[in-house]
Amino acid sequence: MNKPDHLVQMLGIEYPIIQGPMLGVTSPDMVAAIANAGGLGSLPVGGLSPHKTASLIRETKSKTAQPFAVNLFAHELTEVDSDSFEKMQDFLERIQAQHRIPFERKKITDLKFYHHTDQIDVLLAEHIPVVSFTFGVIQPAAIEQLKRNGSVLIGTATSVKEARLLEEAGIDMIVAQGYEAGGHRGTFLDDEGLPQVGLMSLLLLVVDAVSIPVLAAGGIADERAVRAAFVLGAWGVQIGSLFIACHESLASEGYKEAVLASQETSTALTQAFSGRWARGIKNSFMRQIEESGLKIPYYTFQNSLTAPLRAYGQQNNVTDLVSMWAGQSASYAQRGSATEIFKKLVEKLQHHGQLDF
Amino acid sequence: MNKPDHLVQMLGIEYPIIQGPMLGVTSPDMVAAIANAGGLGSLPVGGLSPHKTASLIRETKSKTAQPFAVNLFAHELTEVDSDSFEKMQDFLERIQAQHRIPFERKKITDLKFYHHTDQIDVLLAEHIPVVSFTFGVIQPAAIEQLKRNGSVLIGTATSVKEARLLEEAGIDMIVAQGYEAGGHRGTFLDDEGLPQVGLMSLLLLVVDAVSIPVLAAGGIADERAVRAAFVLGAWGVQIGSLFIACHESLASEGYKEAVLASQETSTALTQAFSGRWARGIKNSFMRQIEESGLKIPYYTFQNSLTAPLRAYGQQNNVTDLVSMWAGQSASYAQRGSATEIFKKLVEKLQHHGQLDF
């Protein structure tokens, strides 16, 4: 049996194509549309409360009877020094004043963020068939409980070292996330610096390093890239940016337009919005924070501090204030429904004799 | 006729595989070995005197009757401010003292660097069949003279904008150089920052933007990557790192060992050695210059200033002082002769039904 054929059997889907989890962009409608079209939709719930997690899962289930993945953040909790926390608030107060956004100073102890361990009971009760995660490895107890409950586990790696660690932890599959990918880098081992490895290199090296299925992510927004990933040894692909501008996307109209008009050089890696490195379309907030020279509080602190600003930008379509996560191939994104976009991709692949597994 | 078949006809070679020009690594023996095996060897002569250029070309011709490419640097001449020039010399004096390397202070006016226009007469007289270049576009007069003389011209692009500019200038083919690539970035339009686009994104976008043949470069050191590049629409591939550790390579033994032992995260982009951004295996010279916070004089000034240090490192096998240019897939490099390595690659491709054009 070839690799993609094996993958679809393991996941109980029709085509070896995963819609990438994009928190703030992916809606239950998008997940259900992909699931109903034969792919694997991924519902992002990283950092959400157990209640919100359950509610999004139930909403998705009400729209599809097909399997879908739920995506967690598996980071370790970090600390922040009060000096950089306060200086960043001073900076954000000035930015928010420029846009007449009310500012409310926060205390470190005010911030509430849910850990993935808070969400496991919901995933177990809902019998989620596929649980994917990024930013680390989920806790050993969670791995054991979820696997016993029948969930397939998919981790995210940006280096060979991370891929090996996921395999050793008993994870079932690995998303190899190339440098081209939009959104947050899944990195969790950065003692030698942030891995910034192009998919052409990373995919081969991960495929050669582990024996579990590897999914290719980063810059895959076109049928040719899917075929190339299969040639490189991928069992399947994870596609994000292609769906940012679709009907079911939660992206603001300005964000969608920026993605459709983007070039391969439009994006950059930034820590500005969340404290973690992520790839998005360059905007003035990214530039201002860089020019400030300020130390950016690590995730999740910065993410909490920029929340009011991002919410305002989203509601008022001010693209200079929102994180417009997008990959280097985001210009291949399309308007239309997620179903149409997905089916068009599948048809092109079938035309080339791919997906005839 | 398919693209690779068309390419080999245009270049008068057997296989659509170019050995990347690696100044300091590629020898006339390497170029001749690749040419005799049916690929396109590339002789790097960027910045060399017309006399040295002619001598290397004649040496290569004495070893092969097959066509090969000669590779130029097509940068525009820049200036340097005396303050950063002197401060860098102070820094280098300290580093050289640590290694007991004699230091000789230079004057800006002392530095001699040949421009590609100085080399055109030699290329015309030698009737070079393929002239490739990087760092810019060769002068319009040179383009006209070389084309009239029967040379095929190949430019290097790291962005779609650069690729379009090369096509408009009348260049025959384009190497799309992905972020994964070892050695110098070919960038010449960096007003929006240095393009850092993974090959998975860049190749598709360049193929879709121009109508002349596109060659894929960056991270291609394995038969699967060659096949993936063809799927993405490449007419051919350019391969560098795979050959760094071969018999005909000029790399020091320590450099070869570092390449063979490298991981996908072993390299970084640096301006430390030449003033231009290039990807090489991290070493202490790169770290020291970064920690110094010094402004690095732009190419070619920094290149001239670090020449004694690099020469010492090369002669004495001190890997901390040499630029160990390598791509993110450099761990696929092999020992053996360039001929053997090339033939092994071709056999694997033929086994997969590729190269049966």
End-to-end CA distance of chain A: 8
Q: Count CB pairs under 8 A between chains A and B.
A: 128
CA B209 to the chain's CA centroid: 23
Q: Contact B264/A195, CB-based, under 8 Å?
A: yes
Tens digits of pLDDT across chain B (357 residues):
899 999 999 999 999 999 999 999 999 999 999 999 999 999 999 999 999 999 999 999 999 999 999 999 999 988 899 999 999 999 999 999 999 999 999 999 988 889 999 999 999 999 999 999 999 999 999 999 999 999 999 999 999 999 999 999 999 999 999 999 999 999 999 998 999 999 999 999 999 999 999 999 999 999 999 999 999 999 999 999 999 999 999 999 999 999 999 999 999 999 999 999 999 999 999 999 999 999 999 999 999 999 999 999 999 999 999 999 999 999 999 999 999 999 999 999 999 887 754
Q: Residue A112 contacts by C-beta under 8 Å, 6 or more apart in sequence?
A: none
Asked if A34 has any chain B CB less than 8 Å from its own CB, the reply is no
Residue with tokens 């239309």, as numbered in its chain? A336
- Helices (H), ranges, chain B: 3-11, 28-36, 50-61, 82-98, 116-125, 140-148, 160-168, 199-209, 223-231, 253-260, 284-292, 301-305, 307-316, 338-351
The answer, for B260 touching chain A at a CB cutoff of 8 Å, is no
Sequence-distant (6+) residues with CB within 8 A of A347 are none
Q: Is the dihedral of CA A57, A61, A64, A67 positive or negative?
A: positive
Q: CB of B321 within 8 A of CB of B179?
A: no
Confidence of residue A149 (pLDDT cuts 50, 70, 90): very high
pLDDT at A357 > cutoff 80: no
A38 three-state secondary structure: coil
pLDDT at A352 over 90: no
Cβ burial of B90 (10 Å; 0-12, 13-18, 19+) is: exposed
pLDDT over 70 for what percent of chain A?
99
Is the pLDDT at A263 greater than 80? The verdict is yes
- What is the tens place of the pLDDT at every residue in A87-131? 999 999 999 999 999 999 999 998 888 999 999 999 999 999 999
Q: Is A244:A265 a contact under the CB 8 Å cutoff? A: no
Distances (CA, A) of A175 to A73, A172, A183, A218, A239: 14, 10, 14, 10, 11
| Model confidence band, residue A350 (pLDDT cutoffs 50, 70, 90) | very high
Asked whether the beta carbons of residue B159 and residue A264 sit closer than 8 angstroms, the reply is yes
Which of B29, B35, B37, B61 is closest to B248 using CA atoms? Answer: B29
Residue A295, token pair as written in the block: 């130390």
Average confidence (pLDDT) over A240-252:
98
Mutate to test the interface with B, among A189, A201, A237, A331 (most CBs of B within 10 A): A201
Q: Is B225 touching A (CB cutoff 8 A)?
A: yes
Topology of the domain comprising A1-77+115-249+330-357: TIM Barrel (3.20.20)
Measured distance CA(A220)–CA(A197) in Å, rounded: 15
Joined together, the tokens standing for residue B190 give 């960096």
- Structure tokens of A266? 């439009």
How confident is the model at residue B356, as a pLDDT? 57
Query: What's the whole-number mean pLDDT along residues A221-228?
Result: 97
Domain boundaries, chain B: 1-77+115-251+329-357, 80-113+252-323
CA distance, residue B313 to nearest chain A CA (Å): 24
State the Cα–Cα distance between residues B19 and B40, nearest whole angstrom.
Answer: 6
**A201 contacts B329? CB cut-off 8 A:** yes
User: pLDDT value at position A68?
Assistant: 98
pLDDT for B110:
87
What is the per-residue pLDDT across A287-322, written as a single tens digit (0 to 9) for each? Answer: 999 999 999 999 999 999 999 999 999 999 999 999
**Residue with tokens 């007003």, as numbered in its chain:** B191
| Partner-chain contact A329 B201, CB within 8 Å | yes
Instruction: Using the structure block, give the residue that is written with the tokens 């970064």.
Output: B290
CB contact under 8 A, B328 and A199: no
- Structural tokens at position B338: 């360039």
Instruction: Count CB neighbours of B265 within 10 A.
Output: 23
CB contact under 8 A, B227 and A227: no
- Cβ distance A179 to A197 under 8 Å? yes
Cβ separation A205–B268 shorter than 8 A: no
Q: What pLDDT, on a 0 to 100 scale, did the predictor assign at position B113?
A: 84
For helices A223-231 and A338-351, what crossing angle results, to 10°? 50
Q: Which one of 3.40.50.150, 3.40.50.300, 1.20.120.160, 3.20.20.70 gives the CATH number of domain B1-77+115-251+329-357?
A: 3.20.20.70
Of B198, B233, B328, the CB nearest to A224: B233
- SS3 sequence, A284-328? HHHHHHHHHCCCCCCCCHHHHHCHHHHHHHHHHCCCCCCCCECCC
User: In the beta sheet, which residues pair with residue A153?
Assistant: A131
